[in-house]
Amino acid sequence: MQDTRVLTCLRVSRDGAILDANRVFARWTGIPKPDLLGQPVLRVLTEEDGPRMQRWLEGHEPLPDQAFLLNFMSTSHEVQTLRCRLFAHHEEVVLLGEPDLEEDRTVAEELLMLNNELSVLSRENARRNRELESARRELADALAELESSYWHLRKIQEHMPLCMRCGKMKTGEAEWESLVDYLRSNDILVSHGYCPACADDVLQEEDVTG
């Protein structure tokens, strides 16, 4: 029993003192084996299970003839549930325990559920990252287009070649178009009207023809 890596073995006197323990038990409790010897077994049991063990040791209740669950407490206050059996041996009681398989299955199911939830969250996060990256690219393209348009408008403000005869504007290496057409092609709203000087000329022309 000293070499096992799973089973817990504990020898306890009828007055509740630990007589011997294997390395599995000492390692789990966090108490070196020499320090465990002579300590009351109630020290390593939860408050709920301590009184049960005491009644069995003192003979107030017969030892259980079937496996039962006991909850042990480590020095770091971690609880370990073991499926145990008690055996009377002269003036002492031998306890054999192993991890509760039912509890292990429950933990495994919870871990599987958490893993599934993490997978769903991971996929959702990846989808959102793709959408965010797509939106970022669209924003970058729109910004580049805006910067290009702004640069073009600045160049037009700095230098606008116009034909002195027909008034067309040079819009490319060998392209000329009317100023009105150019403004319209660049989504600049053009409306019609008269400047003050032309408005006076039109009024005078109407008076003459009238």
Q: What is the pLDDT of residue 104?
A: 54
Q: What is the pLDDT of residue 4?
A: 45
**pLDDT at residue 203 tops 60:** yes
Same domain as 187, residue 135: no
Same domain as 88, residue 111: no
In a domain, 166, yes or no: yes
Q: Terminal CA-to-CA distance of the chain, rounded, Å?
A: 127
- Residue 184 CA to residue 181 CA, distance in Å, equals 5
Same domain as 60, residue 132: no
Q: How many domains in the chain?
A: 3
In a domain, 1, yes or no: no
**pLDDT at residue 12 tops 90:** yes
Residues 6+ away with beta carbon under 8 Å from 101: 83
Query: What CATH number is attached to the domain comprising 63?
Result: 3.30.450.20
pTM for the whole thing?
0.46
Same domain as 74, residue 34: yes
Same domain as 89, residue 47: yes
In a domain, 41, yes or no: yes
Question: Which structural domain, as residue segments, surrounds residue 59?
Answer: 8-99
Residue, of 79 and 194, whose pLDDT is higher? 79
Predicted confidence band of residue 168 (pLDDT cuts 50, 70, 90): confident
Instruction: Please give the structure tokens belonging to residue 133.
Output: 């990256």
Pairing of strands 8-13, 92-99: antiparallel
Instruction: Please give the structure tokens belonging to residue 160.
Output: 């606008």
**pLDDT at residue 108 tops 60:** no
Q: What is the pLDDT of residue 161?
A: 74
**What is the chain's Cα-based Rg?**
46
Instruction: Please give the structure tokens belonging to residue 28.
Output: 């789990």
* Cα 56 to Cα 13, 15, 83, 143, distances in angstroms: 11, 10, 16, 80
Return the amino acid letter for 107.
Answer: V
Structure confidence by residue, pLDDT tens digits, 69-96: 999 998 888 888 888 999 998 889 999 9
Q: Once rounded to an integer, what is the mean pLDDT over residues 113-136?
A: 86
Which of 20, 94, 81, 21 has its CA nearest to residue 45?
A: 81
Predicted confidence band of residue 1 (pLDDT cuts 50, 70, 90): very low
Burial class, 189, CB count within 10 angstroms (exposed 0-12 / middle 13-18 / buried 19+): exposed
Share above pLDDT 70 across residues of the chain, in percent, rounded to a whole number: 80
Which of 59, 26, 67, 69 has its CA nearest to residue 11?
A: 26
- Residue 62 CA to residue 65 CA, distance in Å, equals 9
